[in-house]
Copies of this chain bind each other. A is one copy, B any other.
Amino acid sequence: MSPRIEKKNIVILGGGFGGIGVLKDLQKEFNNNENVQITLVSDNNFLLFTPMLPEIVSGTIESRHIVTPIRSFCKNSRFYEAQVKSLDFTQKLVTISHNIGRHDVETDKIHEHIINYDCLVIALGSEDNFFGNSNIQKYGFTLKTIEDAINLRNHIIKVLEQAVIEQSDSVLRKALLTFVVVGGGFSGVETVGAINDFVRESVKKYYPDLYMTDIRIALVSATDKILEQIDEELGEFALQKLKANGVEFIMNSKVKDVTIENALLDDNTSIPCYSVIWTAGVAPNHIITNLTCEHDKRHRIITNSHLEVKGLEDIVYALGDCASIINPNTGKPYPPTAQHAIRQSEIVSYNVASFIKKKINGKNDRNHRKKEFNYNTKGMMAQIGKRTGVAILFGKIKIHGFLAWWLWRSYYLLNLPSSKKKIKVMGDWTFDLVFKPDVSQIH
């Protein structure tokens, strides 16, 4: 009898595009291999298709259609819906925790569990960053999670309803119909486009007592441009298009504080409004920032070109929004997008598999094969309202208008993780062409 081989544990933290990508590749690699146990931990039990979040706000897609259960990707892997509490690189342990029972009733029934690993993949993404301002956190809306999108949508409907009742108070009515989006990046621009379409279309169809001229939808950008990640010219196109659709731009400005009834700009202008949407910053969560490894100035984990964490080579890997990975062609970190996380997951999977196979085979050579991450961004796209968008492909081909929008839809539709969701989203879009918006406000 041959000696029993100890099972190798691969632990993946995070259920976004990066983590799920690694899970899928490693499952293929170690298909039914009894010597390998893959475990994924995430605080959500679904993969969220983040590029479509603004369409949840506008209601063109149903919320459940852009989430896919992580368990539907799991074959022989384990999945735990839990928080990551701490990492111990020395003992190779991850501590996870979860609440027992109802999530909405306060309880001290928090249970902790420990998982040990031979290889660890960190793909914990990022969180909204309010730069320490608790008012913005409390009164502002965000758009990182599916709950954020549902909340924001219902809030918008709620203020429309409030404005109807407060018709006789023109100051309050106008404040209720003012929406301020903070941040001129992808998220801010796509969000302001979605809100603009949804508010104007809903008021036109359902709120005859409200004046279209009372509606004010503004985007606050810290610089004199928007969509700088894509291209200056396309940013200008998007700006003009959104302006033509009624969006106001407040450039070279920052929102420095928010109360329940206004937004305060850095020049002390106060905008009376009940709806501030914060898209002006993300940062890794505190687990990442507190790790005893090298971080960049944005508190992301610095990796080498094999996507290994420095000083923890072979054992610990990082990718996606929580990692700082230098593009060898530009010398700058890759931008935090789904496209890059997915490509990074292929490299991580290859290197993890290579290391684990060496361990299983019991060879002692340190130089197993590793791949380096070297990827040229294929393109960047943004939807800037119904039937219009901007895109840049291969760093030089610039597209705008209907074609860019159509490209956006087709590309992301093809990239939805299951055929079920593809059909559902296609159905939602078709319906949206035919029917009026839905303004049911679910509390």
Contacts and interface: CB of A to CB of B under 8 A. Distances in A.
Contacts of A155: 102-103
Contact of A82 (B165, B176, B440): B165
A103 B207 contact: no
A92 interface: no
Nearest to A82: B165
Interface string A50-77: 0000000000001110011101100000
Nearest to A435: B420
Nearest to A434: B420
Interface string A239-275: 0000000000000000000001100000000000010
A109 B260 CA distance: 10
A443 B113 CA distance: 22
A46 interface: yes
A305 interface: no
A439 B69 contact: yes
A19 to B, nearest CB: 16
B79 A164 contact: yes
Interface string A93-125: 000101111111101010101000000000000
B260 A105 contact: yes
A438 interface: yes
B172 A438 contact: no
Contacts of A420: 431, 435
Given A81-B161, A98-B162, A101-B261, A67 B442 contact: yes
Contacts of A81: 158, 161-162, 164-165, 441
B440 A69 contact: yes
Given A102-B274, A206-B71, A64 B165 contact: no
A5 to B, nearest CB: 23
Contacts of A138: 105
A147 interface: yes
Contacts of A261: 100-101, 109
B147 A439 contact: no
Given A105-B260, A155-B102, A64 B441 contact: no
A244 B50 CA distance: 43
A69 B147 CA distance: 21
A281 interface: no
Contacts of A442: 46, 63-64, 67, 146-147, 150
B101 A165 contact: no
A372 B274 CA distance: 49
A438 B98 CA distance: 22
Given A101-B261, A172-B100, A260-B105, A111 B166 contact: yes
**Nearest 4 A-B pairs (CB), nearest first?**
A46-B440, A81-B161, A101-B274, A67-B440
18 contacts: A45-B439, A46-B442, A64-B438, A67-B440, A68-B440, A69-B440, A78-B209, A80-B165, A81-B441, A99-B162, A101-B159, A101-B162, A102-B155, A103-B443, A105-B139, A105-B260, A147-B443, A420-B435
Interface of A: 44-46, 62-64, 67-69, 71-72, 78-82, 96, 98-105, 107, 109, 111, 113, 138-139, 146-147, 150-151, 154-155, 157-159, 161-162, 164-166, 172, 176, 206-207, 209, 260-261, 274, 420, 423-424, 427, 431, 435-436, 438-443
Given A45-B441, A46-B442, A102-B274, 9 more contacts: A46-B440, A71-B207, A71-B439, A82-B165, A98-B161, A98-B162, A101-B260, A101-B274, A113-B165
